[in-house]
Amino acid sequence: ALTDHEWRVVAGAAYGPGLFDVDPGPFRSLVVRYFVDDPATVDLTGREERLLVSRALQGRDAETVAERLEYHSSGQCMRALGDAFRPLVDHYGTDAALEVRERFVDG
């Protein structure tokens, strides 16, 4: 289970200016949880799943993943990674994560 701090890190990257590369550990744990639990309960595309596996589980760099998954740039790939974490934060997130989400969505 993620700590409140880890949830804030993940939610900050999903909804705000936070960065995956600063501390990939909590992201990895969340992706593992997604695949171990029932993935059908969260609405992710196949491309988003491949992105999560490539970046969070395999640790591939953004440029390599961008090329393999046909993103226009590594920046677009990194933004897509944040977007892919949004449904995971929404589905699994604790109050700490949801507070961060609300700050960026409503702020």
- Domains defined for the chain, CATH in brackets: 4-106 (1.20.120.890)
Dist. CA 1–CA 4, nearest whole Å: 10
Residue 25, pLDDT score: 97
Structure tokens at 107: 């702020």
Structure tokens at 59: 């640790």
Q: Where do the H-state alpha helices sit in the chain?
A: 4-15, 25-36, 46-52, 62-68, 74-92, 95-106
Residue 38, pLDDT score: 87
Residue 106, pLDDT score: 77
Dist. CA 89–CA 71, nearest whole Å: 23
The mean pLDDT values, 10 residues at a time, for the chain of 107 residues are 97 95 96 95 97 98 98 97 98 97 87
